[in-house]
Amino acid sequence: MKPIEEYLANVGPDKVDPVILGYLCNLQEIAVHSPEIASSIVKELASQRKRIKLIASENYCSPSVQFAMGNLLTDKYAEGMPGHRFYAGNENVDAIESRAAELACTLFGAEYANVQPHCGADANLLAYWAILSTRVENPALKKYGQTNLYKLTDEQWQELRADLGRQKLLGLDYYSGGHLTHGYRYNISARMFDVYSYSVSEETGLLDYNAIERQALEIKPLILLAGYSAYPRKIDFRRMREIADKIGAVFMVDMAHFAGLVAGKVFAGDYDPVQHAHIVTSTTHKTLRGPRAGLVLSTNEFAEALDKGCPLTMGGPLPHVIAAKAVAFREASTPEFQRYAADIVENAQVLAASCARNGMHILTGGTDNHLFLVNVRSFGLTGRQAESALYDCNITLNRNSLPFDPNGPWYTSGLRIGTAAVTTLGMKSTEMEELGAIIALVLKNTKPAGDNKAKYITDPAAKTQAIAQVEKLLSQFPVYPALDLDFLTKSFH
């Protein structure tokens, strides 16, 4: 019997679960020609069931989000914007994209939304070019008495290009929690701008707004950028906007990590970036819990340039992923999601406190958001050793550079721990308390092996105990609980 038939025979026609059946149809059809791919998808489920996920940038999105992506929408080319496409036959894609953009505007209280970026890095690249073409090209055009860019001579273009290349970006330093796309030297952003960065205070580990203001007044950047991948505290966006206004800079916020906390109204008032920034970029797959993709929100000033996202920096949009974004924005507009967002932060605070009580060093003493940072040098370990030792015990998280880290970006001295995914599973304070104790148990019982910054040994008894505790925890909170892993493994091996 085929898996679908077997399932239907087992449950009977009125007990059919659309999620289970949806997955079975999906896998069974894939397996016709690509059994190895179907098998890998099931193995990934097995791996996610076995390990507790504390990666701060990951989550588990809903089956509706997943199903919105897995269909014929992927066949459509839709270059351009709704109502203004370079391809025929886009009525339905127009309806989907317009709806997604409208939902994003309502959810975040934004004037304008572009839902086309394929990922967060895409969103940032688009935002940078939209800012450059809105704030820089126009003066250049005026200079040459032109109204149309295409009429510039080659020499004028050279000059304009030089003008663009000399623009300044001031963002959070990578080692203080900023993202690669904020001007890190191996990212294109570092080649597009003269990059300057601000750091957290060496004493407190916190942003020092007066220091940022002094730096901004001196540098006078075109763009003042806030947002992070690894900073455990709230940012006062009202204060940052004041700084930007003093120098006429564009205030841009990259909320890739904490978009779910903004949507869920945990970050409100001074801490809501959309109320204060000119332009806000995001991913949709981290705390926001949607498909793997990006988003740009802005004031109307940048709408015209952002509408040219394709071909400015992007190719054809992904209509199936845009459909999934619409589903996710809908989900994030509910009271349940607001509770979810509040729970993420509470869980992060309880987990950080539990880690601290169990002898771990937590940067800034705790967290206001979904993540916190641990300095593992107190255990004599590098971040790399700590990450691997925990992975051996079925705890997945990542090592992270700490501010002013002596171990560099590869080995690092830190761990970044996030609670978005475990909160989706339904875990609460009791589980966070226990988890803190398990993490500390592993770290206390792990020692470096010789001088190698990657090698380590964990005491076998501690390891056995940690694995057993993780297994017990996860058995109460399975990932995608509707899915019967044994049945899927047997059916698609």
Ligand X SMILES: *Cc1c(COP(=O)(O)O)cnc(C)c1O
Contact 86, 308 (CB under 8 A): no
Decide whether 257 or 384 has the Cβ nearer to ligand X. Answer: 257
In whole angstroms, the minimum distance from the beta carbon of 172 to ligand X comes to 9
Is residue 291 helix, strand or coil? coil
Residue 125 backbone zone (phi > 0: left; psi -120 to 50: alpha; other: beta): alpha
**What span, in angstroms and rounded, lies between the C-alpha atoms of 108 and 86?**
29
Residues forming a β-bridge with 414: 375, 400
Closer residue to ligand X in complex, CB, 41/119: 119
CB of 58 to ligand X, least distance (A): 10
Q: How far is the CB of 234 from ligand X (least distance, A)?
A: 15
CA–CA separation, 374 and 383 (whole Å): 9
76 is catalytic: no
Given the residues 181, 283, 287, 458, the one annotated as active site: 283
- Told to judge if 286 belongs to the known catalytic residues of this protein, a careful annotator would answer yes
3-state helix, strand, coil in the chain (%, to 5): 55, 15, 35
254 catalytic residue (yes or no): yes
Pairing of strands 52-53, 395-396: parallel
Q: Which of 49, 234, 239, 292 is catalytic?
A: 292
51 versus 257: smaller Cβ distance to ligand X: 257
Nearer to ligand X among residue 400 and residue 423 (C-beta): 400
Query: Residue length, the chain?
Result: 493
From 51, 76, 241, 286, the catalytic residue = 286
Q: Which of 58, 97, 254, 405 is catalytic?
A: 254
As measured in angstroms, the least distance from the Cβ of 55 to ligand X is: 11
Supply the minimum distance, in Å, between the C-beta of residue 277 and ligand X: 14
Q: Residue number with the shortest CB distance to ligand X?
A: 120
Which two tokens mark 401? 């550079």
Task: Name the residue among 174, 167, 238 with its Cα closest to residue 209.
Answer: 238
Q: Which one of 17, 79, 242, 270 is the catalytic residue?
A: 79
Closest to ligand X by CB, 257 vs 320, is 257
In degrees, rounded to 5, the angle at the alpha carbon of residue 141 between the alpha carbons of residues 155 and 218 is 95
Q: Which is nearer to ligand X, 121 or 169 (CB)?
A: 121
Q: Are 421 and 60 in contact (CB under 8 A)?
A: yes
Residue 32's Cβ-count burial label (10 Å; 0-12, 13-18, 19+) is exposed
For residue 120, the minimal CB distance to ligand X (Å) is: 2
283 is catalytic: yes
- Residues 429, 468: contact at Cβ < 8 Å? no
Q: What is the 3-state secondary structure (H, E, C) of 343-410?
A: HHHHHHHHHHHHHHHCCCEEHHHCCCCCEEEEEHHHHCCCHHHHHHHHHHCCEECEEECCCCCCCHHH
DSSP string of 173-220, one letter each residue: -GGGT--GGGT-TTSTHHHHSEEEEE---TTTSS--HHHHHHHHHHH-
Which of 49, 77, 94, 299 is the catalytic position?
77
- Residue 485 beta carbon to ligand X: minimum distance, rounded to whole angstroms: 28
CB of 193 to ligand X, least distance (A): 16
Q: How far is the CB of 126 from ligand X (least distance, A)?
A: 12
Closer residue to ligand X in complex, CB, 181/215:
181
Compute the least distance from the CB of residue 370 to ligand X, in Å: 12
Query: Considering beta carbons, is residue 322 or 381 the nearer one to ligand X?
Result: 322
Tokens of 48: 């996610």
Contacts to ligand X by CB under 6 A: 57, 119-121, 124, 179, 181, 227-229, 254, 256-257, 283, 294
Judged by CB, which is closer to ligand X: 124, or 446? 124
Tokens 């605070």 sit on residue: 349
198 vs 456, beta carbon nearer ligand X = 198
* Angstrom distance (rounded) from CA 362 to CA 233: 12
Distance CA 445, CA 372 (A): 22
220 contacts 247 by C-beta, under 8 angstroms: yes
Q: Is 489 a catalytic residue?
A: no
Instruction: Respond yes or no: is residue 245 known to be catalytic.
Output: no
Q: What are phi and psi of 113, to 5 degrees?
A: -135, 135
Partners of 198 in the β-ladder: 172
- Catalytic residue ranges: 77, 79, 254, 283, 286, 292
